[in-house]
Structure formats: structure tokens, C-alpha cells
Amino acid sequence: MKEYLTEAEKLTQYAKENLELDERNIFYVKNRLLEVLPFCSDPFSDEDIDKIYDILSLTPDKIDEKFHRLVKEDCKKATDWLYDYCVKNQYVKRDRLDKNPRFDVSNGLIVTINKAKPEFRDPNKARTGNSVDGGFCSCVICRENEGFGARNKRNLRTVSLNLGGQNWFWQYSPYGYFNQHGIAVNCEHIPMHVDRETFSRLMDFVDIFPHYFIGCNAPLQRIGGSVLAHDHYQGGGEVLPLFKAKIKRFFKDESNPSLKIGILDWPGTVIRIIGGDREAISAVADKIRVTWESYTDTNLGIVANDGEQHNAISPTVIKTATGYEMNIILRSNITSERYPDGVFHAHPEYHSVKKESIGLIEAQGLFILPGRLEAQLSEIETAIEKGLPLDSEDFTLVYEETKTLVKKGYDVHTAMKEELGSICYRILQNTAVFKKEEDFCAFMIKAGYTA
């Protein structure tokens, strides 16, 4: 046991300095560490880290208590504290996230390559919420996972929220895609859905955390998130490209004259509602939802329901000095013979770059590309520099277009970044349900708004 004493002391010292370990608990924590350390590998495995930092962390009740005390003082201070805590207790894999390449592209999009998270290729799994047979937690995001060893969630800490009178909780993602990326989750394991109360809950969230955005994935397979079985939202402290997009055409709503409503100058199909009247915003957002969920235009390939529901919306909101800005993204998951993965999904010529569902975060202009690309793109860059042909046909498009940019004077690395950004932009155009403004306007008129 003695040989582990130094390590245990080092760790308790760390917890005193970083994890608010109380003096009163030091003997207790050290003894618990001495029980675990002999079974840990050198260096510590992910599971070891999980076990050790759980022992070093405050219990969930203490975390919740302190968080809510801070919220009363200053909500940003509260989220900064919690995020920092989750980094220091090793639940958020910050060191790995910092190694992910990330860059802004000249077309306004943000591209990241996520080396920390495995590529998600099975949309069927989303339906069940990646449930594990025999576990007492119904899915991977149920609150019952807090401290759950079998899923390496021993050091997970969540905080309670009240959204629309319901019990929800907030937690940070271990492999976040952007600044302070987290999820707000219903305490009850019920399926993802968007209805009128959703808009109200989203606005409740930004009332508590006005420095965060929050949005809800479309609750259908192939266009939504990876856990459809459990109601949850995604948010965090990042200004996403969509928020900077401007309204290109305004519409009037006679019954809600205080609101500004318009369609966005954006590659996807998005309506923005701006105003301070929460009830009015919910009413308009819900009218758009209901209209879209039954909207069919076969000439455009849009079929609301053919026995299976295909149209859904994805709402996302921020709070500004003048009120709320609610963005409603129209989505369709319909497939065809030509596009078996989705007519309004990334088309096959772009699958070498991105084949996964285009979810809420990407629809807002921040793309998360698979980790494998780092090596693949670096090979292409080398091939271009040395004037060699490509081994794999999958990347012909990227290779040819990057070469064209290099001929225009870009260095090969910058050219590759611009090429990726350009492909992401075209993927967003693929997801647009209305490619022409006149078709979009026809929908708005159908929903009851006048130009």
C-alpha cells in the first residue's frame, strides 16, 4: 500500500486545489484512492481516470447546490465554474478537444475535425438512443448514468434545470464540438419531439443562460441527432455562423405585428422570428411547424408523409439585447432510389468528407468532420505537391478542386481548408428543402404570412 501513498497524496492535493475537496474529507478520499490505485494501469487508462476523478470530485448534490448559488449571483459565472470543474475532473476531454483541427472558412462556415469521437454511421441506433440491453438506464443520456461505471460515467456531474415547469438537467459533453458544448436533457426518458412547448422551453433556457444558444434536433432519423429516444437539446457558448446570417426577405404576420419574421440568406432553409413577446414567438414558430409537417410539393421532391413522416423542423434560439431570435430550420428526411441516404442529405459525391447525418450543429454552419480525414487529406496534399495521382477514387473531387485552387495561387494547405469549407457549403445546400426563393415564399404564404 505504501508505494501508492505518494500518488494518493498528489491526487488529493490536486483535488484540494482544483476540485474543492474539503479538508474534512481528505483522509476519507485518500483511503478510497489507496483502494483503487493498486488496480490501475501505468499510465492510467480512461477507466482508471474515471474512477480516480470520481473519488476526487464533489458529489452531485454539492455540485448542484454550488451551481445554483452561482446562478443567482451571475449565470455566466455559474456555467464557467461548472465547465471548468468538468474539465478539471476529466469528464470533458479538453486536452483531446484542443488537438482537434478547427478553422474558419472564407464563406463564413466553421470546420472542425473531431479526432476524439468515433464516426457515427448507423442512423438506426439513434432510434433506440444507443440503448444497452440489460442496463437499468434506458439510454446513454438518461440521468441515471451519473456515476454509472459500466459506461465510464463515474465522474459525470449534472445540474438540475426547470424548463417549462418540467424537470430537466444540464451536462457538458465529454467530446464537445465547440465552446462549452452541453446538452439539456429531460429527466424523463421520453422520445425527442418538437411541439409548441418546445419553443417555450428553449426560451426558458436562454432566459436562465442568455450567453448560451440552445436548439433542438429534428426528431426524425437521418436528419437529427444520435439519440432520438430521449428528449434533449444542444447548446453552449459559441456564436455559430447561422446567427450572423441576415434576413433576406421579410414577411408580415397580421396577428403578431410586433415580430420581425423573415427568410435567411443562408444555404439551408431557415426562417427567423425576432421579438420580445414569448407567446407570439411560440405561436408563429408553431404555425410554421404545423404547416411544414404537412407540406407537400412533389415537383420539389417534398412529401410530408407517405405512411412515414418526412418533414420536421429544428428550432434554435439565442437571446439578444432586444429579445429572442428564434431560427426555424426546415428539414426533410425523404429518400429516393437516386438518393438512398436522403434527398436532402449530403449527396454521394461528398460522402468521402461527410456521410453522417447533418444535425442541428452543422445546419447552423459548424461542421464536425470525421477524424480519419486528417490522414486522408494530408495524403492528398502531398500528392498535389508532388504532382502524383491519387490512390483512391473516393477523393477525386477534393483532389481536382484543391488542385484548381492551388493553381489560383493558394498554398496547398489553405487550398484544402477552403475546399473543405466549400464542400460543407454545398452539403448545406443539399439539405435545403427550397432551392429557390420563390418556392420558399410560396411556403411562407401558405403558412399565412404576407410578403
Q: Can you list the pairs that 96-99 forms with residues at least 24 positions away whose Cβ atoms lie under 8 Å?
A: 96/175, 97/175, 97/176
Question: Which part of the chain contacts Zn ion (CB under 5 A), choosing from 138-146, 212-220, 308-316, 321-329?
Answer: 138-146
Find the length of the chain: 451
Shortest CB 232 distance to Zn ion, Å: 9
Question: Which part of the chain contacts Zn ion (CB under 5 A), choosing from 102-110, 140-148, 155-163, 260-268?
Answer: 140-148
Cell numbers representing residue 181 in the block: 458544448
139 lies in the binding site for Zn ion (CB under 5 A): yes
Question: Which part of the chain contacts Zn ion (CB under 5 A), choosing from 98-106, 146-154, 181-189, 402-410?
Answer: 181-189
Cell numbers representing residue 273 in the block: 422570428
Residue that the C-alpha cell 482537434 belongs to: 100
Nearest to 232 by CA among 208, 206, 214: 214
153 lies in the binding site for Zn ion (CB under 5 A): no
Residue number, 109 or 142, with CB nearest to Zn ion: 142
Residue number, 142 or 214, with CB nearest to Zn ion: 142
Write the single-letter amino acid at 246.
K
Q: What is the rounded distance in angstroms from the CA atom of residue 203 to the CA atom of residue 318?
A: 8
142 lies in the binding site for Zn ion (CB under 5 A): yes
Shortest CB 136 distance to Zn ion, Å: 11
Q: Which of 57, 138, 145, 357 binds Zn ion (CB under 5 A)?
A: 138
Window 28 to 67, contacts with Zn ion (CB under 5 A): none
Residue that the C-alpha cell 464533489 belongs to: 58
354 lies in the binding site for Zn ion (CB under 5 A): no
Question: Which part of the chain contacts Zn ion (CB under 5 A), choosing from 26-34, 74-82, 184-192, 413-421?
Answer: 184-192
230 lies in the binding site for Zn ion (CB under 5 A): yes
Half-sphere exposure at residue 219, Cβ-oriented, CA atoms within 13 angstroms: 15
Half-sphere exposure at residue 82, Cβ-oriented, CA atoms within 13 angstroms: 30
Q: What is the rounded distance in angstroms from the CA atom of residue 440 to the CA atom of residue 119?
A: 33
Shortest CB 20 distance to Zn ion, Å: 29
Q: Which of 88, 117, 189, 272 binds Zn ion (CB under 5 A)?
A: 189
184 lies in the binding site for Zn ion (CB under 5 A): no
Cell numbers representing residue 421 in the block: 469549407
Cell numbers representing residue 54 in the block: 470520481
Three-state SS for 256?
coil
3-state helix, strand, coil in the chain (%, to 5): 40, 20, 40
Q: What angle do CA 372, 378, 381 make, to 5 degrees?
A: 140
Shortest CB 152 distance to Zn ion, Å: 17
Residue number, 28 or 136, with CB nearest to Zn ion: 136
Shortest CB 151 distance to Zn ion, Å: 12
Residue number, 142 or 383, with CB nearest to Zn ion: 142
Q: What does each C-alpha distance from 367 to 74, 118, 184, 362, 427 come to in angstroms? A: 31, 15, 21, 5, 10
Question: Which part of the chain contacts Zn ion (CB under 5 A), choosing from 46-54, 182-190, 289-297, 336-344?
Answer: 182-190
183 lies in the binding site for Zn ion (CB under 5 A): no
Question: Which part of the chain contacts Zn ion (CB under 5 A), choosing from 69-77, 131-139, 194-202, 308-316?
Answer: 131-139
Q: What is the rounded distance in angstroms from the CA atom of residue 202 to the CA atom of residue 81?
A: 22
Positions in the binding site for Zn ion (CB under 5 A): 138-139, 142, 189, 230
